[in-house]
Structure 1
């Protein structure tokens, strides 16, 4: 497996992976998520080309089978929150046919190295409550629940 910075040439594979995760989220929580659409392509291209953020892909035998995007956030406005840099994983997707093979773990390890190089004090991410498989992965990697979001 290889993990490297995403490029514009990876966009078709990234769009397909995004469609997979988007469809699952839409099916589970349609009041929050929109059905996957062609509008995602431009959004993803902008994210790939964005300076100052991590957007990496995992390749197996030359094929993109996963991606992770993350950014460094520094709180400058809320006085009761730390001002230390925090790495926020915004998206992590592994192809539905390649799950449970260590790809997600490898992407998070790569992100952890990137975050440390940017002096991040912690990694943070949000996971939907229906996504038991992802929650299990994150917990096995030492992530702890810090909050819950309620909606009605």
Structure 2
């Protein structure tokens, strides 16, 4: 008789306002001051905005991470760029590849929409570990807190 061990199933999908129950605890890990109703309304507002995109990472059906993106295009840019507004992986589920998969999907979304670059700013008490993570993902420090990555 053999026992089978199943690996957790990681699924990355588009986020929606119905994810608020799972996203509120993640936002609190970022020290983001919000309430259930405020976050739900903001998520609903972003769902229909073409310049914004959110992804969630589910492990066995439970949201364990998220990333929020915003694409910018100004008069002096040949191509748009995409900012990572926020990214968080539940502190109990870090170092399991969730962040890497979220980044990969964020890059794909940005490339499909024609972005030439991904960029973000790191801050807060975990900024050194966050900076390290992004550098492993191919980002380069371009300022005190700013990191960017050129997209092919």
TM (norm. structure 2) is 0.79
Residue number among 63, 80, 87 corresponding to 2:82 in the alignment: 87
| Residues 18 and 40, structure 2, Cα contact 8 Å, conserved in 1 | no
Q: Residue 147 of structure 1 aligns with which residue?
A: 143
Q: Residue 55 of structure 2 aligns with which residue?
A: 56
Q: Deviations over 1:72-119 (max 9, x none)?
A: 10122xx5xx34210111110111110111111110100000011011
Query: 2:18 and 2:131 mapped to 1: Cα distance?
Result: 31
The runs of 5 or more residues in structure 1 that have no matched partner are: 24-35
Query: 1:5 and 1:37 mapped to 2: Cα distance?
Result: 21
The runs of 5 or more residues in structure 2 that have no matched partner are: 1-9, 146-152
Residue number among 5, 9, 20 corresponding to 2:14 in the alignment: 5
Show structure 1 runs of 4+ deviating over 3 A.
Answer: 48-52
Using CA pairs under 8 Å that are at least 6 residues apart, name the structure with larger relative contact order, 1 or 2: 1
Aligned residue-pair number: 133
1:65 is aligned to 2:35: no
1:105 is aligned to 2:97: no
Q: Which has the higher strand share?
A: 2
1:20 is aligned to 2:29: yes
Q: Deviations over 1:31-80 (max 9, x none)?
A: xxxxx23144433342345334211100000000000110210122xx5x
